[in-house]
A and B are shown apart, each in its own frame.
Chain A
């Protein structure tokens, strides 16, 4: 399975994205998924998104990035957190196993 790259985004990249990224990493490592997770501020999203497979954002993403985008807010409030992590894990498995067809460069 290829390594799946996840970018966690928040408004300024100074607070909530780091926390969300930390929690997500904990969950996905427990599931033995091969992921790398980075955090950034929303202003960096347009040019950083391209090199990632999945975007998880605290802030609303209004542009079409052509890849799966999830809300990170459940990782902050705990509401719907399990479901979110499950969805992300499923997406990671899917992208990881059809690596050869992926549009990842």
Chain B
């Protein structure tokens, strides 16, 4: 293998603008295979195949499995266990086969046989089969290139975690790499004295460099996208992070600008320098792949159908539970599936009405905490913050706030000093020797510190109308949208609580994954506070009256925050609540605490290592201990086992035990004759919920590709992601402990079941005028079930049409299938 001579005449000296423009498009086409990966500070669950949404689900999985080692379906072993437990039955399978016009007599035996002898289980793996043996030397270089590039990416993207930062990174990855590539150990090892000359001859611009490398490697124009995709799938984690940085972070983000094209330019420059241009480099070349094969798809659909029949049966049997009395309080929770338990437990305790709405409560803003210079977005990533709202000291508490900020700055300085000493060359070992024994009191303090810190901050206010915030027109618009969308436009209770949510865990790199997805992976308390402030504003209320929404003068909006790790609820901004509501709020607080205890008792047994005693006090103590335990790898289950998204009035689900598996979005069809509210819900919250569902699905069925691996092996990198052990690439998706216990999945991998109560014609119109909905629904990325509320029952949408829901066959029919088999 000869290294390429960079002075060869075929060099592209200065690419034309047209070639550059085409290259940009080809790079993006190649990168569509990979979803963006949000950094750890704001972990957002995404559909890993969101770039292939224009394909149907099966097609997208098949396409992904051409490039990545995955099947995209639950494994035969998983399905075999589910089949044995009755979680999926012959009746479910027969129903799916009937829908596909397949003969059940012939197909069922083949389906069962697939459980024992699966085919087409795995797509290509990097450097598969005989290619490895034949091209061992080339592969060694290839792997070394991966390792070198991954290490450089980690150095480049570092956000202050390393003690010795790279120099100026504003020019991008390629510029930075080219400046130091002459010292690159891999290039020096392979090219020896020619390394410096070869690097100096590389084009200064990454677009030119990539075009030149493509020419040198002899990649024809018609195969360019495939080659670029092959290159990206060598380090899909870093490529995914680059996609986020380039497309989602915003032009003013201060993170180092790691771009997909830069990544490709560096990688292909390595190849152009190190590989024989006449040969084919080893790697994950695309091969025809079947994904999990047709049988896997049928098993999955039957598995999903079983759950669908179960929940629709429960909804049909349990409907009609509706309170007539005016509730003492109305509590609006986030649609997050973890709210379902708390809502049910609270409603059982007293005259409370609950609602479900996206946890940013309709106010798309960024929030800057007390003393913070920059704001953090508190809205779904599908929309941009309209303004920045700054937290300020409460009236008369400015001195306390200053004192608090000073002590926070001192703590930060001490932390930084400790961090610098810990990573400084030569200081790490003496530090451990000298102070290691004295650190156990600090470790103890760290365990209890989360509780202490919660009470140390002085009272503050979040006024959305303050300078730099939202204009009055915007506050009115967002307030109206929020109330109409959640269906709360009349019969207001004296107290209306807006309850955001967050997780509270210790030493958890993926902590933000437990926070509110509707708040861009941040705690939901600030969103609740500013929405409550806007809805209590006299000018906003006066304008709402003109729009037909009269909020009584004695109604007060209160902000609260649900800690999903412990299930306790904290009332925020107590100091703003008028005294006349004191007794009512105290009673509500007491009931929320009791609901939280019941909630903890209900979900406690599902946590590994939980005490067997089903006692509320024991459960509460246990979940609190888990939250503060910084050795705990599974502080809570998060959204594992999420399964469905219900859009409809609470009367549809009230009193029905949905096991914390269902996203609940309030919707009153009668208030929405033109379907605009329904459209907002289906194009916003539903899309986010589908991302969450797909993230859990693929982290479960393809943990090696779309999962973050074992938490006990995680090494956080630069504050942006994790490596697993000595792994080179960033790990995307959820840790294995978020979806499984040991080798057994806790999450049930299914596509999201969407249940809507709305006229079918209205749904048709909304789907027809929104491409994304057509792709999701008719591409089978989710399942849609609806009822008009006119007594015609549930209908499922299949192939663009509505079909009356029919549960799987009766027991007698099932027995017939079993007997025949």
Q: Does B associate with A?
A: no
Question: Which residues from chain A sit less than 8 Å from chain B, CB to CB?
Answer: none
